[in-house]
Amino acid sequence: MRTDAIVLRKHGGPDVLERASVDIGALAAHEVRVRVRAIGLNHLDLWVRKGMPHLKLDYPHRLGADLAGEIDALGSEARGSFKVGDRVLIAPGLSCGVCAACAAGDDNLCRSYRILGENTQGGYARFVNIPDANLVALSERLSFEEAAAIPLVFLTAWQMVKLKANVTHGQWVLVHAAGSGVSSAAIQMAKMCGARVIATTGSDEKAERARALGADHVINYATQDFVREVRGITDKRGADVIIDHVGGEVFGKSIAACAWGGQIVTCGATAGHATQIDLRQVFFRQIAIKGSTMGPRSTLFSLVEWVSRGLLAPVVGAVLPWERMGEGHALLESRGVFGKVVMLVD
């Protein structure tokens, strides 16, 4: 089957994205065809578009990990209770399903784990074929654009806040870059766990948005030294948990902002992957540094239920028609939006 799509044939700026007709093939037995209605953009889209050393792409390549839409067709042996017309969102991680990690529910530790749009074709298309195991039912209470703002960032944030750091009542949690999708989710999740949240951001306008999400204190890193401010807020204790996807110089400084016996959980490096660390501060103050990528697919079911009940809220900062995909990429790259950029598919 052929479908309208947005693809890249080479790496570069937003201008390399182009409309094309692509063949998505016939449905496999355990696949479903989804009519995509909304696509959530992620920094992963930007990195793949620009090019990364480990990428092995088949061109033309489609980006896109976060999708919401309706079931258009079912494979001959599609499992579950879904039927044509059902509203769904898509779990963005693909795994083998049979290894020890997958059997334990830790599919994001599978050696063959892939993310839609990274090392496999993604969802920048009107129709996509998806494994039946990656479907999550979508409540009528959520719009397609809200749903498309959930999967990647909510899985990532929940694993960082709860599964890795096990944030508990009364802890001080520092969340960097509050305007990002991961951080806007992490602020809410840390508050759900009873923590006291300190957020950093680069403007007073974004600071107000972070407070509205539940941040108890917000530091404008453009005008304030976040290490000094954190130590002042916590009466020199430092943050028990630091949620970081910025990397670069910020990561090194975060060690100074961390409490003795505290934890730093990192899932990215938008400001650079190279950083300098004083290891003496790590081992002497017994700071744990934990890496995190995505989260178990099983947790997405609970996360979507909590969003449906209003306990968590996806933050959508901008909604654009998908013909303006290049503009959406530029907007995300400029950090000019608080929350997710979502593209609507006509």
pLDDT tens, position by position, for the chain (346 residues)?
A: 999 999 999 999 999 999 999 999 999 999 999 999 999 999 999 999 999 888 889 999 999 999 999 999 999 999 999 999 999 999 999 999 999 999 999 999 999 999 999 999 999 999 999 999 999 999 999 999 999 999 999 999 999 999 999 999 999 999 999 999 999 999 999 999 999 999 999 999 999 999 999 999 999 999 999 999 999 999 999 999 999 998 888 899 999 999 999 999 999 888 778 888 889 999 999 999 999 999 999 999 999 999 999 999 999 999 999 999 999 999 999 988 999 999 999 9
In this prediction, residue 223 carries a pLDDT of 93
Same domain, 177 and 130: no
In this prediction, residue 226 carries a pLDDT of 95
Paired strand residues for 318: 341
Could you tell me if 250 and 232 are in contact, meaning their C-beta atoms sit under 8 angstroms apart? no
Same domain, 146 and 215: no
Residue 315 C-alpha from the chain's centroid: 12
Q: How far apart, in Å, are the Cα atoms of 153 and each of 8, 72, 176, 338?
A: 23, 26, 14, 14
Same domain, 219 and 249: yes
Same domain, 146 and 228: no
Q: What's the rounded Cα separation, in Å, for the pair 85 and 5?
A: 21
In this prediction, residue 51 carries a pLDDT of 93
Could you tell me if 156 and 292 are in contact, meaning their C-beta atoms sit under 8 angstroms apart? yes
Global confidence as pTM: 0.94
Paired strand residues for 47: none
Same domain, 163 and 249: yes
137, burial (CB in 10 Å: exposed 0-12, middle 13-18, buried 19+): middle
Task: Write the DSSP symbol of residue 54.
Answer: T
Residue 280 is part of which domain span? 154-291
Query: Which CATH number does the domain housing residue 272 bear?
Result: 3.40.50.720
Q: What's the rounded Cα separation, in Å, for the pair 51 and 93?
A: 20
DSSP notation for 257-270: HEEEEEEEEE---T
Residue 304, domain member (yes or no):
no
Same domain, 21 and 83: yes
Residue 216, domain member (yes or no):
yes
SS (H, E, C) 55-70: CCCCCCECCCCEEEEE
In this prediction, residue 46 carries a pLDDT of 96
Same domain, 172 and 254: yes
Same domain, 81 and 23: yes
Spatial CB neighbours of 313, under 8 Å, sequence gap ≥ 6: 188, 307
Same domain, 146 and 192: no
Classify strands 172-175 and 239-244 as parallel, antiparallel or unpaired.
Answer: parallel
Residue 301, domain member (yes or no):
no
Same domain, 159 and 280: yes
Phi then psi dihedrals of residue 90, to 5 deg: -115, 130
| 207-228: burial string, b at 16+ Cβ within 10 Å, e else | bebbbebebbbbbebeeeebbe
Same domain, 269 and 205: yes
Same domain, 164 and 134: no
Quick one: tokens of 298? 């099983």
Residue 189, domain member (yes or no):
yes
Query: Which CATH number does the domain housing residue 43 bear?
Result: 3.90.180.10
Number of domains in the chain: 2
In this prediction, residue 270 carries a pLDDT of 81
Residue 232, domain member (yes or no):
yes
